[in-house]
Amino acid sequence: MPARATDARRAAVLGKPIAHSLSPVLHRAAYDALGLTEWSYDRFETDEDALPGFFEKLGPEWAGLSLTMPLKRAVIPLLDEISPTAASVDAVNTVVLSEDGRRLGDNTDIPGMVAALREHGIEQVESAAILGAGATASSALAALARICTGEVVAYVRSEARAAEMRRWGERLYVEVRTAPWSDAEEALGAPLVIATTPTGTTDALAAAVPERPTTLFDVLYDPWPTELAARWSMFGGAVVSGLDLLVHQAVLQVEQMTGRAPAPLEAMRHAGEEALAAR
Catalytic site positions: 72
Q: Classify residue 273 as left (phi > 0), alpha (psi -120 to 50) or beta.
A: alpha
Residue pair 154/179 in contact by the 8 Å Cβ criterion: yes
Residue pair 141/165 in contact by the 8 Å Cβ criterion: yes
Residue pair 194/128 in contact by the 8 Å Cβ criterion: yes
φ, ψ of residue 258 in degrees (nearest 5): -95, -20
Would you call 215 helix, strand, or coil by DSSP? strand
| Cα(270)–Cα(28) distance, integer angstroms | 12
Residue pair 210/231 in contact by the 8 Å Cβ criterion: no
